[in-house]
Structure 1
Amino acid sequence: MTTVRLDDLIKSAGSRAGNRLAPVYSVTKHRGFVRSDEYFTKQVHSKDLSTYKLVEQGDFAYATIHLDEGSIGRATERSLISPMYTVFSIDEQRVDPEYLYRFLKSPTALAQYATMGNGTAERRKSISLATLGRMSFALPPLPEQRRIAAILDEADALRGRQARSVKVHDEAADAVYRELFAKREGRVLPLSEIADVSSGITKGRKTNGAAMREVPFMAVVNVQDKRIDLTNVKRIEATATEIERYRLRAGDLLLTEGGDPDKLGRGVLWNDELPESIHQNHIFRVRLKSGDVDPLYLNWHVGSEYGKAYFLRMAKQTTGIASINSTQLKAFPAVVPSRVKQNRFVESVRRIEASKRTAERVLRELDALFASLQHRAFRGEL
């Protein structure tokens, strides 16, 4: 096995489109080349495509300022892409396209991209083709490259199938909710009658010199749709009184106040994922007053089409940003079905969630296996 520099295998490609027409594509982090009109819900490309780049089938392209995130792909057909992308072709007599693609998407390559960028802003560091070309990597004979690429393709396909299995569980829970509560039968009460609604702690507030200590706090990034994301948990200094006031308890429903319109109604139940935590002022905490409403039902109800329609109708919207206030949330017309019906829903969802946890564990194992295979593949150990 030999070690080569990338610039021995590639050359600049992509010409100015001018009046030549072709489908418009974007290059994404997870899916590589995607048709713009299929990937985005609205047109994001320029009306004037004359300055775009014409890319031939098989050419590679990457986001010049986002390569460190893995935004690279290979064109599946002749296409137009933004001039913000860098395009290159490869010498297929020496390197297999799939092998090279797998390497350029590997953790080994991603780690190198992080050291290559030029620029001052953290997320605006561009990587020129000349800079990328200085990267070195192991290049076995073509038959070996194809064998390695095939192994990685199969492992990645397994991950994809398992990821779809995880998604099916979410769809199943949504289907149970729609089946049981399609008619929205039950009492309709303002949310304030069945729950206490409160905002969280504010950064930069005055504490008048009171003694403080650091505690974790939940921010918008942590509150995903029916899922707590603890990847990045920030901490804040708070007084003992503030900690007691904003402390989260098991069963609290956390809701984002907004941002992008799709964040309206986005919420998750807190299940004591951390020994201690409070919440940010951009997060509403909904704490039920009695056992008439199950918090799991409320989580799905608020995030349902019914809930989202209410929040979109009531939200203040400016240039793509939508938000609701505490008054609007308290006025949310919650439908309270019978406890028997709620219990049926909760039991079904609990079974689905248990199965989902198993599917997620398998997916994590497949992710770890794939990462190991990538590491070994490009060290000549596969």
Structure 2
Amino acid sequence: MSWPQVPLGEVSMIVTGKTPSTKDEANFGGDIPFVTPAELDAEATILSTPRTLSEIGAASIKLVPKNAVLVGCIGTLGKVGMAGKPLATNQQINAVVFDEAKIWPRFGYYAAKRLRPEMEMMAPATTVKIISKSKFSELTTPHPPLDEQKRIAGILDQADALRRLRTRALDKLNTLGQAIFHEMFVGNSQITRDWKRLTLDELIFENDRINYGVVQPGDHDAEGVPIIRVADLAAPTVDFESVKRISRLIDASYSRSRLKGGEILIGCVGSIGSTMIAPPEFNGANIARAVARVPVDPQKCDPRFVAEYIKSDIVQRYFQKEVRLVAQPTLNIKQIRETEVVVPPVELQQDFLSRISLLDSSKNQVVEGITRTDDLFTSLQHRAFRGEL
């Protein structure tokens, strides 16, 4: 069975967001959440945001009600959230206020999560992808009977809750590496007296260098070379099969930034200081301009220790101090090369790494669980919208 499809414009009111004048500080800082695309996809229901509006600011725009489905329509298309209370959005978001006699909002939320591929295809080939309100209104949603919509939404809610619980567990495990690092090293008085201090430039392989990656990634090439971007560094896990790819011709011009696996990768633009060790499956991939590649020589210091040191407040404060504000916050290669690392004795590094290895084992188990629940959710979603659930 397949459910009939109806245009969003026929079963909802669509409200495009707006930003109050930023020249008037009185518009901001109140209790009304102000949603931007950065808040979409993070949690299903949005109750609070980093930036808020005052009553004055809210009076100059249109608030959307609780249960409105929020969809990113400019820039990163198809990110979705749901209003947990009356709130405002910026102009990059369309709020879909469903007629609840026709579409149950929670069902509409899950239906909206399936729109991204279609939105990507219909967006004009411009520098910034954008879907107009009229085009967005023409997108369709399945329209089963209302009782069936509620049943489907309830099943998907349970699967999504399990998926989010496991993701939060992984987030907590990802902070434990820093907790172990602080316990072993930050409170150790020897760290300022007896241990060597070397710059990142002094810790890399002799015949290598710290460098940026590809200046302009270009169009996605499904058969090309994977390229690791800042957004990939910030993600709890990297789905290597779904990362952006560039043509082999572009990659050939940037052979010095090609990865072997084991290098430290550092975000240099926007998400400053986000850090990860390139896993073995990154062998042959390349990096974007906003990422720095730091090929630490394990004979000088273990790269995993150096990576945790870079994540520490010691280095992150240094990065923030050195940031240059151009179009976006930017950290240049010279500043990264000059970043100082305190190198503990080998036996302490090994003790630290044995603890990290146990932590990594736990993280791998959670990642496997996330993969299984993602597959379950995707399967349930496909079956639900085909009328097979």
Q: What TM-score bracket applies, with the shorter chain setting the length?
A: 0.7 to 0.9
Give the aligned residue type for 1:110.
Answer: R
> CA separation in 2, counterparts of 1:67 and 1:371?
21
Structure 2: segments with no counterpart, 5+ residues: 21-26, 216-222
1:358 to 357, 360, 365: 365
> CA separation in 1, counterparts of 2:226 and 2:17?
50
The residue number in structure 1 matching 2:129 is 124
For the pair 1:39 / 2:49, whether they are aligned, the reply is yes
Q: Is the contact made by 1:219 and 1:280 (CA closer than 8 Å) also made in structure 2? A: yes
> 1:310-362 deviations in whole A, cap 9, x for unaligned?
22333434354221333x33332211112221111101111111121111111
Deviation of the 1:104 alpha carbon: 2.0
> CA separation in 2, counterparts of 1:367 and 1:285?
31
Provide the aligned length of Structure 1 versus Structure 2. 360
Sequence identity (%)? 20
> CA separation in 2, counterparts of 1:333 and 1:371?
45
> 1:257-301 deviations in whole A, cap 9, x for unaligned?
x212x423x333344425545666765443445635211101111
The residue number in structure 1 matching 2:326 is 318
> CA separation in 1, counterparts of 2:17 and 2:290?
46
Looking at secondary structure, tell me which structure has more strand per residue.
1
> CA separation in 1, counterparts of 2:75 and 2:362?
36
Report the TM-score, using the length of structure 1 for normalisation. Answer: 0.76
2:183 to 179, 203, 207: 179
Q: Structure 1 residues 113 and 236, CA, compared in 2 at 3 Å: closer, same or farther?
A: closer
Structure 1: segments with no counterpart, 5+ residues: 205-213
2:142 to 137, 144, 153: 137
The residue number in structure 1 matching 2:164 is 160
The residue number in structure 1 matching 2:219 is none
Deviation of the 1:100 alpha carbon: 2.2
Deviates most, 233-242 or 193-202 = 233-242
The residue number in structure 2 matching 1:210 is none
> CA separation in 2, counterparts of 1:120 and 1:287?
37
Give the aligned residue type for 2:160.
Answer: D
Give the aligned residue type for 1:137.
Answer: P
Q: Structure 1 residues 115 and 127, CA, compared in 2 at 3 Å: closer, same or farther?
A: farther
Give the aligned residue type for 1:331.
Answer: E
> CA separation in 2, counterparts of 1:309 and 1:77?
36
2:12 to 10, 17, 23: 10
The residue number in structure 1 matching 2:24 is none
Q: Is the contact made by 2:66 and 2:85 (CA closer than 8 Å) also made in structure 1? A: yes
The residue number in structure 2 matching 1:299 is 307
Deviation of the 1:374 alpha carbon: 0.8
Report the TM-score, using the length of structure 2 for normalisation. Answer: 0.75
> CA separation in 2, counterparts of 1:277 and 1:86?
36
Give the aligned residue type for 2:103.
Answer: V
| RMSD across aligned positions (CA) | 4.1
Give the aligned residue type for 1:92.
Answer: E
The residue number in structure 1 matching 2:62 is 53
> CA separation in 2, counterparts of 1:11 and 1:159?
30
> CA separation in 2, counterparts of 1:218 and 1:178?
32
Deviates most, 163-172 or 344-353 = 163-172
- 2:281 counterpart SS class: coil
Deviates most, 276-285 or 9-18 = 9-18
Deviation of the 1:150 alpha carbon: 0.7
Give the aligned residue type for 2:307.
Answer: N
The residue number in structure 2 matching 1:232 is 244
Q: Structure 1 residues 59 and 220, CA, compared in 2 at 3 Å: closer, same or farther?
A: closer
For the pair 1:101 / 2:109, whether they are aligned, the reply is yes
Q: Structure 1 residues 190 and 331, CA, compared in 2 at 3 Å: closer, same or farther?
A: farther
Give the aligned residue type for 1:273.
Answer: E
Q: Is the contact made by 2:310 and 2:316 (CA closer than 8 Å) also made in structure 1? A: yes
The residue number in structure 2 matching 1:25 is 34
Q: Is the contact made by 1:190 and 1:330 (CA closer than 8 Å) also made in structure 2? A: no
The residue number in structure 2 matching 1:110 is 116
